[in-house]
A and B are shown apart, each in its own frame.
Chain A
C-alpha cells in the first residue's frame, strides 16, 4: 500500500478511532 493522504476530518476520525479502539482493547486486557 502506498502513501495515503488524509484530510483534516479524516485525521481527526482516525485519531478518534484509535482512542476508542485503545479503550476497548484495554478493557478487554483487564477482563
Chain B
C-alpha cells in the first residue's frame, strides 16, 4: 500500500494538540496508509511524542525565534524549515498538508510547505494574503474564532474535515466499522507499562487540583467521597506550582482524623509518562482544566469537568461517551464542593440507580436540595451515525432552554447542511418541556429579522447571478462597452449594499451573527482570475447563506409550533381502562 504522506501543523497549545491527535487517530484507523508527521512547538512536543502511531514529531524551537530582531531570526528559521520545505534538498511534496493551528503565523508556514492538497489556513500566491480555502476552515474562522457557538465539538469538525478531504482524494475507506479510538493504547507508555503505580483492587479517582477551589473546599469534595464510599481512593494530581495547595489539602484532611492511606498526593511528582500511567489506572478524573480532562478522555478514563461559569461551551470538552460537565447556573454563584461529590456519585453509581431519577433528585436524596437551582450537569453522548454522529452534551436536569442553546443546535444543523450534505430532521434534539416564554419571545423577534435576512439574501443571489451572467457573456473583461461597464458597476454596488444590509441585520439581532461573519469570510476567500469566475463563487456564497437562513427559519417555525397548546381529545372520548 502506497503511503499517504501527511504533514500536520499544530502550533497551538497542549489541548489543541490533543484534539488534533484524536481526529488523526480516527482518520488513520479508516485510512491505514496515512503516514503522519506532526509539526508543533517545542514547548508542547512531549504529548505527541507519546503517540507512537505518528511517524515523526517535529518540534519547532519557536521560543528562540521570538524577539524584536526579526531579520536576525530569518536565517535560523529558514534553516529549520528547509528539510520540511524539501524542494532545495530534492524532497517530494507532501500528499496532504493539514494546518489545524488556525493562526496567522501558521498560515505563512502552511504556504511555504509544498503539498498536493492543503487544508486549513494558508496564504494565497498572488499577494500572499490570508486564505482559509476549505469549507470547514471557513466555518472555524467565521464561527469559532468569531466567538459564536458552532454547536459541534472541535474534534468532530477536524475529523469530518480530514475524512472529507481523504474521501475526495483517495476514495471511501476500506473499513467503516466502529473502531474505538480512545483507550489505554493511545499512548505508547501505557501499553507497555510495568507494575501499576496504584493498587488495582481499589476504585481510584484522580483529582487535578487547581485554584478553582480553596484547600478546605477540595477537602469537602474528598471527605464526602471517601466517607461514603469505602471502596474508593483518591489520588491528587497537579504540576509543581500546586505543591503548596496539595500540602494544605493533606494537612486539613489529616487533621480531621481520616485515613491518610486513602489519599495519595502525587502533585508535582509526575512527569508526563507517570501522569499518563496514573490516570489510565483511575476510573475517574475530576478536573477544572481542559488539558487534563482531554488527556484523561483519550486514555479512556471517565471525566468530570468543573466550571464556575454558566453554560460553558462544550466544543473543547472531554470527548467520548458518559463524560460529565458540571457548571453553575449563574455566573455570580460558584460551584459548591458538595455538587462535585454529587455529580461524581451520580455518574459512578448509575448502574445501580439506572438513571431512574435525575441529577436534581440525586442532589435532594443526598440532602443538597438547595444546590438544585444553582447546578447544571451535562453528559456526553456519541450520537449514532444515522443521527449525524459526533459528540453532544445533554443536560441531566430538564431546565428552560436558553436562546444560546437553541442557537447552538441550529448552527450545528446549518454547518451540517453546508458541509456534510445531511441534516437531522428539523426539531430533532428539541424537547417541548424545555421551551419557555423567554426563548419564544427571542424566537418571535428572530422570526422577523431572519425573514428580512432571507429576503435580502435571495435578492443578493439574484443580483449575483445577473452579475455573473453579464460578466460571463463579455468577449473581454478588459475591453467592454460603456453600457456593459455601467451595468456591472450598478450590480456590483447593489451587491455591496446588500452585504452591508446583512451586516446591519446581524448587528441589530445578534442571533444572526453567523451569517454576517460567514459572509465576510466567504467573500474574502473568493478564488478566480476572471471576474466571471469570482462572480460565480459570489453566487455560491450568497446561495449557501440563503440556504442556511431558510433552515434557521424552519427551526424557528417548528419551535414556535411545538410551543402551541396541543389539541387533545375531550375527556368523554378517552376510553376508560
Minimum distance in angstroms from A24 CB to a CB of chain B: 7
B404: Cβ under 8 A from any A Cβ:
no
Query: Contact mask A1-31 → B, CB, 8 Å, 1/0?
Result: 1111010001111111111111111100000
Once A3-B93, A20-B70 are accepted as A-B contacts, the answer to whether A15 and B105 lie under 8 Å apart by CB is no
B568: Cβ under 8 A from any A Cβ:
no
In the complex, the answer to whether A3 meets B77 with C-beta atoms within 8 Å is: no
In the complex, the answer to whether B133 meets A21 with C-beta atoms within 8 Å is: no
In the complex, the answer to whether B112 meets A26 with C-beta atoms within 8 Å is: no
In the complex, the answer to whether B125 meets A4 with C-beta atoms within 8 Å is: yes
In the complex, the answer to whether B104 meets A21 with C-beta atoms within 8 Å is: yes
Minimum distance in angstroms from A30 CB to a CB of chain B: 10
Minimum distance in angstroms from B277 CB to a CB of chain A: 30
In the complex, the answer to whether B74 meets A21 with C-beta atoms within 8 Å is: no
B174: Cβ under 8 A from any A Cβ:
no
Alpha-carbon distance A24/B475, docked complex (angstroms): 47
Once A2-B116, A6-B112, A14-B112 are accepted as A-B contacts, the answer to whether A22 and B122 lie under 8 Å apart by CB is no
> Which residues from chain A contact B93 at a C-beta distance below 8 Å?
3
Once A1-B117, A14-B123 are accepted as A-B contacts, the answer to whether A21 and B105 lie under 8 Å apart by CB is yes
Using a CB–CB cutoff of 8 Å, the interface residues on chain B facing chain A are 62-63, 65-67, 70, 73-74, 77-78, 81, 93, 103-105, 107-109, 111-112, 114-118, 122-123, 125, 128, 131, 133
The A contact surface, by secondary structure, is helix
In the complex, which residue of chain B has the Cβ closest to the Cβ of A24? B104
Once A15-B112, A18-B77, A19-B65 are accepted as A-B contacts, the answer to whether A25 and B118 lie under 8 Å apart by CB is no
Alpha-carbon distance A11/B74, docked complex (angstroms): 11
Alpha-carbon distance A24/B66, docked complex (angstroms): 9
Once A14-B108, A25-B103 are accepted as A-B contacts, the answer to whether A19 and B128 lie under 8 Å apart by CB is no
Alpha-carbon distance A20/B157, docked complex (angstroms): 29
In the complex, the answer to whether B128 meets A13 with C-beta atoms within 8 Å is: yes
> Which residues from chain A contact B63 at a C-beta distance below 8 Å?
26
Selected contact of B128 from candidates A1, A10, A20, CB within 8 Å:
A10
Minimum distance in angstroms from A10 CB to a CB of chain B: 7
Given A4-B125, A19-B70, 20 more pairs with CB closer than 8 A: A1-B118, A1-B122, A6-B111, A6-B112, A6-B125, A12-B74, A14-B108, A14-B111, A14-B123, A15-B78, A16-B70, A18-B77, A19-B74, A22-B65, A22-B105, A23-B66, A23-B70, A24-B104, A24-B105, A25-B105
A-B contact pairs, 27 of them (CB 8 A): A1-B122, A1-B131, A1-B133, A3-B114, A3-B115, A3-B116, A4-B111, A4-B125, A10-B128, A11-B78, A12-B74, A14-B111, A15-B74, A15-B81, A15-B112, A17-B108, A17-B123, A17-B128, A18-B109, A18-B112, A19-B70, A21-B107, A21-B108, A23-B67, A24-B105, A25-B105, A26-B63
Alpha-carbon distance A30/B116, docked complex (angstroms): 36
Alpha-carbon distance A25/B101, docked complex (angstroms): 12
> Which residues from chain A contact B112 at a C-beta distance below 8 Å?
6, 11, 14-15, 18
> Which residues from chain A contact B78 at a C-beta distance below 8 Å?
11, 15
Minimum distance in angstroms from A26 CB to a CB of chain B: 5
Closest CB pairs A-B (n = 8):
A18-B108, A21-B105, A21-B104, A22-B105, A17-B108, A1-B118, A26-B66, A14-B108
In the complex, which residue of chain A has the Cβ closest to the Cβ of B60? A22
Using a CB–CB cutoff of 8 Å, the interface residues on chain A facing chain B are 1-4, 6, 10-26
Minimum distance in angstroms from B92 CB to a CB of chain A: 11
> Which residues from chain A contact B67 at a C-beta distance below 8 Å?
23
In the complex, which residue of chain A has the Cβ closest to the Cβ of B66? A26
Minimum distance in angstroms from A1 CB to a CB of chain B: 5
Selected contact of B62 from candidates A14, A15, A20, A22, CB within 8 Å:
A22
> Which residues from chain A contact B105 at a C-beta distance below 8 Å?
18, 21-22, 24-25
Alpha-carbon distance A2/B114, docked complex (angstroms): 9
Alpha-carbon distance A8/B67, docked complex (angstroms): 24
> Which residues from chain A contact B103 at a C-beta distance below 8 Å?
21, 25
Minimum distance in angstroms from B116 CB to a CB of chain A: 6
Minimum distance in angstroms from A12 CB to a CB of chain B: 7
In the complex, which residue of chain A has the Cβ closest to the Cβ of B122? A1
Residue among B105, B107, B116 facing the most chain A CB atoms (10 A cut-off): B105
In the complex, which residue of chain B has the Cβ closest to the Cβ of A27? B66
Residue among A1, A15, A16 facing the most chain B CB atoms (10 A cut-off): A1
Selected contact of A4 from candidates B77, B104, B109, B114, CB within 8 Å:
B114
Alpha-carbon distance A12/B264, docked complex (angstroms): 54
Alpha-carbon distance A11/B122, docked complex (angstroms): 13
Alpha-carbon distance A25/B66, docked complex (angstroms): 10
In the complex, the answer to whether B117 meets A16 with C-beta atoms within 8 Å is: no
Minimum distance in angstroms from B121 CB to a CB of chain A: 11
> Which residues from chain B contact A23 at a C-beta distance below 8 Å?
66-67, 70
In the complex, which residue of chain A has the Cβ closest to the Cβ of B85? A11
Alpha-carbon distance A12/B128, docked complex (angstroms): 11
In the complex, which residue of chain A has the Cβ closest to the Cβ of B133? A1
Minimum distance in angstroms from B100 CB to a CB of chain A: 15
Alpha-carbon distance A26/B355, docked complex (angstroms): 46
